[in-house]
Amino acid sequence: MSVLGRVLRRGSLTKRDGRSLAHNTLKEMRILAVRRMAEGEHPNNVAASFGMHRSWAFRIRAQARGRVPWGVCVLLPTKGTGRPRKLTQAQERQVLRWINGRSPVQHGFDFGLWMRDLVRKLVQWKFGVTLSLASIGAMLACLNLTPQKPLQRACQRDPEAIGRWQRDTYPAIVRQASEESADILFPDKSGFRADPVHDRT
């Protein structure tokens, strides 16, 4: 049994949401409904037989009115294209070449990291096209350029001292704490107090 047949069989029980049906099923339903109404059947009865709200039948009849044969062309499903893009694919690839592996300073900016606002200014300067920050972010995501967090490492970092700490010093502390049934605490530069501070704000 086809999907349309199952829809017809269940039609009289509940009202169906057309958004939950496949495009080809909706197309068949619309064409059949328009044909039946063109043969004289009332829209209420047609909608009820498909399990749809009565306004569905009136709407597709109004869309198809005056179209031959049965207004089939206007009832075919269409895909929403959305707003047209302001940059062509070639221009987007050019943006990628401008920023990938290059610094903003090389393009005359006074900041060393690429941000969406800088890319937007570059696009506006080179192509004369103004894009929103959201559009810039979407374009960069399509170009596989995603935000990256820089590694935060101290300039005084000493790899040899870190190795000694991990290999010798910390294991000795762990052994001593285990022997004394003690806990190991790591205070930071903000410090800590043993007595709680209760104060009003």
Which tens digits make up the pLDDT trace of 67-122? 544 455 556 656 666 678 888 889 999 999 999 888 888 888 888 788 899 999 99
pLDDT, one tens digit per residue, over 125-166 is 999 999 999 999 989 988 888 877 766 777 788 889 999 999
Nearest residue to 100 via CA among 143, 136, 133, 58: 143
Please, what is the average pLDDT of the chain? 79
Instruction: Determine the pLDDT at residue 79.
Output: 64
Share of the chain above pLDDT 70, in %: 74
Burial of 73 (0-12, 13-18, 19+ CB in 10 A): exposed
Helix (H, G, I), strand (E, B) or coil at 127: helix
Burial call 17-35: b when 16+ CB within 10 Å, e when fewer? eeeebeeebbbbbbbbbbb
Please give the model's pTM, rounded to 2 decimal places: 0.41
Choice among 20-24, 35-39, 73-77, 85-89 with the minimum mean pLDDT = 73-77
Q: Are 95 and 89 in contact (CB under 8 A)?
A: no
| Res 105: pLDDT | 87
